[in-house]
Amino acid sequence: MKNNVPDILLIYTGGTIGMVKDYKTNALKAFNFERIKEKIPELNLLDCNIETVSFSNPIDSSDMCPEYWIKIAEIIEERYKEIDGFVVLTGTDTMSYTASVMSFMLENLSKPVIFTGSQLPIGDLRTDAKENLITAIQVAATQENGVGKIREVGLYFEYKLYRANRTSKVSAEQFEAFESPNYPHLGISGVHLIFNDQWINKADNGKNLVVRKKFDSNVVILKMFPGISQEIVEYILNFPELDGVVLETYGAGNAPTAAWFINSLKAVLERNIPVINVTQCIGGSVLMGHYESSIQLKQIGIINGKDITTESALAKIKYLLGIDTLYKDFKIEFENSMRGEMS
């Protein structure tokens, strides 16, 4: 802390927000984030010190993977003691996946880590990048009693602050690209930046930050659709190295009742492979046993994902497998909220 002014680290990984248009070719290209204040001089008005660090080769969000998750987490780990808040800029397409993963990687987090990006490049005339970036930095720099107001992984986009592991991208074209259907906003930006204190994580256990860097990559998302064939399901579930399944079911957790389908899932469970039931609906919760079409899933031991998002379910199963959670403990561990990711 310098003169009681918060120190904020801006981490640019890639994505639309860091692009400018070459008006000679009309092509988008990444610009030097060390010169961010030249593009957004309003940053000089913020009451905080801003440092920047960029990936040497910025990546498209479609190329995001565990290698880059670890890289982001290590940057935070390296600067954690001296920096008061972090703003992470990524492409929007996989932002909910990355931000959800980060919430599990950063164990005992007690400082703000705010993800943001934009739908239009920072150099575009109608860009949403400036407001998203400025307010994300303000959120990360907001303090109460000498500590960050936010002490968790958040996602700020188009005037709303969300708990990151509760979000999904819902639009490829609208500025309101993200939503948190099953958890209220942590804050909203209007004339004033207003925080919803009752929904913000207030835990501060005084423990040191632990960065979990091990993930299991042999996990699959299996989405139900009418007419899905036995051959396809069995081919996927019989993959020899399979370690976990996120099963995207209908409505409140309903799935086909055909004997072949239930037997395929039972065979997976008999190999001590956890299967998580999540709804493919944008909002709502899995209620296994509420309808006849989910009773058998409950009876054979499928794990109830409740109101967790698919993005967060994938992050959580990879995390739990990565820390070598025993199969006999997996159901209890998954069905209990660890980072505020489920109700």
262-293 pLDDT, tens digit each: 999 999 999 999 999 999 999 999 998 888 87
Residue 2 counted as domain residue? no
111 shares a domain with 206: yes
Residue 19 included in any domain: yes
Asked if 229 and 236 count as a contact pair (C-beta separation under 8 A), the reply is no
Mean pLDDT of 42-54: 92
Same domain, 195 and 251: no
Which of 190, 211, 232 lies at the terminal end of a domain, its last residue?
211
Lowest mean pLDDT among 127-131, 308-312, 326-330: 127-131
190, 230: one domain: no
Q: Would the pLDDT of 314 be above 50?
A: yes
**H/E element holding 135?**
helix 129-141
- The verdict on 83 and 143 lying in the same domain is yes
Q: Are strands 178-179 and 187-189 parallel, antiparallel or unpaired?
A: unpaired
Same-domain pairing of 11 and 46: yes
Does some domain include residue 342?
no
- Here the CATH number for the domain that contains residue 206 is 3.40.50.1170
Instruction: State the pLDDT at residue 3.
Output: 64
Could you tell me where the beta strands, DSSP code E, fall in the chain?
7-12, 19-22, 27-30, 49-54, 85-89, 106-107, 113-116, 143-144, 147-148, 153-157, 160-163, 168-169, 178-179, 187-189, 193-195, 210-211, 219-223, 244-249, 275-279, 303-304
Measured CA to CA in angstroms, residue 99 lies from 198, 228, 251, 312 at distances of 22, 31, 25, 9
Residues assigned a catalytic role: 16
Are residues 226 and 153 both part of a single domain?
Answer: no
Same structural domain, 54 and 16: yes
178 and 252 co-located in one domain = no
Residues 224 and 257 in one domain: yes
Does a structural domain hold residue 343?
Answer: no
Answer with the one of 165, 185, 211 that is the final residue of a domain: 211
Find the CATH number of the domain harbouring 319.
Answer: 3.40.50.40
Q: What digits encode the pLDDT tens for the residues 120-166? A: 988 787 889 899 999 999 999 999 988 999 999 999 999 999 999 99
CB 267 within 8 A of CB 232: no
316 vs 323: CA distance, rounded Å: 11
Q: How far is CA 81 from the centre of its chain?
A: 23
Q: Is residue 163 part of a domain?
A: yes
Tens of pLDDT along 85-113? 999 999 999 999 999 999 999 999 999 99
Full domain range(s) for residue 54: 7-211
What integer pLDDT is reported at residue 83 of this predicted model?
Answer: 97
207 plus 97 within the same structural domain: yes
The band of 1, judged by pLDDT with boundaries at 50, 70 and 90, is very low
Q: Quick one: 30 and 102 in the same domain?
A: yes
Query: CA gyration radius for the chain?
Result: 21
Task: Assign 257 a pLDDT band (cuts: 50, 70, 90).
Answer: very high
* Residues 122, 17 share a domain: yes
Of 211, 236, 264, the position where a domain reaches its end is: 211
pTM of the complete model beyond 0.75: yes
Tell me how many domains the chain contains.
Answer: 2
